[in-house]
């Protein structure tokens, strides 16, 4: 299952798209049409908030916005990954938040006749503040709920704030995403089926959003360590038993990160402004040359898809 178009369909005229990005469809945004692309993962996965960070943000904002009506919207800079249309404030004002969901790394505010889809990009955060709180540089969008607001901050402007009329899953960015690793569909048996006849390295398959969503570089490395599997192992060579072990390791790693408040590697903060601390307890990620916490063997680093991979050569086979 694949949704990117051939290389000759690259939108070379889009100033926000990396040259390796490919178009996946168009969707109406207010009175404008926006072309939606999926960037080369090498451009977007280096330190991007992953599933735990997005889920923690969802849990943090939900009590403050659920059941409340949007009183106004302030857009200070519309130049995000896809430009915010001038009509967004008019579209959102007076709509009631009926649900706050997450799909993969996307936050979704269900607003009755449609939904707002938010992606944090590589440096974004969504914080709950009192109305009137002074905006700082890179505070691009405020969604105001009377005496409180959601503030979208994104120094690198790789994130997005998109209105979708109808269901979020109908949007081109969400339409063909893989299974949720914390959902009922994900299991060792699913992973075993997904890896059959696949020559790609298992770490790269774990990070393929068309197979399983939200598992980025940090959590793929940590999950493979927990499962005792080398990241460069061909996915198709894993037995059913090792797939069951790996699926359990993915779930355990993500849940442990949720308990730790996520990973704050660059710009990520929780909705209350606090940092996550999972990065302080990683077993292999970003620990090249340091002794393994289990066996004291130095952690090794290699490059996969132009991203750093970390593993223990003794504990992982």
Cβ–Cβ < 8 Å for 243, 191: yes
Six token digits for residue 102: 């997450």
Q: Which CATH architecture has domain 188-311?
A: Orthogonal Bundle (1.10)
Q: How far apart are CA 203 and CA 284, in angstroms?
A: 14
H helices present in the chain, as ranges: 41-44, 51-65, 88-92, 188-195, 202-206, 217-227, 240-260
The angle formed by the CA atoms of residues 87, 92 and 97, to the nearest 5 degrees, is 160
- Which residues participate in catalysis according to the annotation? 49-50, 105, 307
Angle at 269 between CA 169 and CA 82, to 5 degrees: 40
As beta bridge partners, residue 151 has 127, 142
Q: Where are the domains of the chain?
A: 7-170, 188-311
**In the predicted model, what is the mean pLDDT of the chain?**
84
pLDDT score of 18 more than 60 = no
- Is pLDDT larger for residue 59 or for residue 16? 59
**Average pLDDT over every residue of 11-24:** 34
- pLDDT at 170 exceeding the cut of 90: yes
Nearest to 242 by CA among 230, 253, 260, 254: 230
* pLDDT at 175 exceeding the cut of 60: yes
Query: 196, 160, 199: which is closest to 78 by C-alpha?
Result: 160
Using the predicted structure, report yes or no on whether residue 64 has a pLDDT greater than 50: yes
Q: Which CATH number fits domain 7-170: 3.60.150.10, 3.20.20.10, 3.20.190.10, 3.40.50.300?
A: 3.20.190.10
What percentage of the chain carries pLDDT values higher than 70? 79
For residue 117, which of 86, 149, 146, 92 has the smallest C-alpha distance? 92
């Amino acid at each position: 299952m694949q949704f990117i178009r051939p290389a000759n369909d690259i939108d070379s005229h889009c100033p926000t798209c990396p040259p390796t990005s490919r178009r996946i469809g168009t969707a109406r945004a207010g009175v404008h049409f926006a072309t939606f692309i999926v960037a080369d993962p090498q451009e977007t996965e280096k330190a991007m908030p992953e599933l735990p960070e997005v889920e923690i943000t969802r849990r943090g904002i939900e009590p403050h916005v659920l059941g409340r009506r949007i009183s106004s919207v302030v857009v200070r800079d519309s130049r995000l990954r896809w430009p915010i249309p001038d009509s967004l404030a008019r579209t959102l004002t007076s709509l009631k938040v009926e649900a706050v969901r997450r799909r993969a790394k996307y936050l979704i505010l269900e607003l009755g006749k449609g939904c707002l889809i938010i992606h944090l990009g590589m440096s974004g955060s969504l914080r709950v503040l009192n109305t009137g709180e002074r905006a700082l540089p890179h505070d691009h969008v405020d969604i105001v709920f009377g005496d409180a607001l959601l503030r979208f901050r994104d120094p690198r402007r790789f994130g997005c704030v998109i209105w979708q009329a109808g269901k979020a899953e109908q949007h081109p960015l969400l339409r063909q995403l893989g299974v949720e690793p914390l959902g009922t569909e994900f299991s060792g048996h699913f992973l075993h089926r997904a890896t059959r006849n696949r020559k790609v390295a298992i770490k790269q398959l774990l990070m393929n959003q068309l197979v399983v969503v939200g598992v980025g570089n940090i959590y793929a490395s940590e999950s493979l360590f927990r499962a005792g599997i080398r990241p460069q192992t061909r996915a198709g060579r894993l037995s059913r038993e090792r797939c069951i072990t790996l699926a359990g390791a993915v779930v355990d790693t993500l849940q442990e990160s949720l308990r730790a408040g996520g990973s704050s590697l660059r710009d990520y903060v929780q909705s209350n402004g606090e940092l996550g601390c999972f990065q302080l307890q990683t077993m292999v990620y970003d620990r090249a040359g340091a002794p393994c916490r289990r066996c004291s063997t130095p952690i090794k680093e290699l490059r996969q898809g132009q991203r750093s991979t970390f593993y223990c050569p003794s504990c992982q086979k």
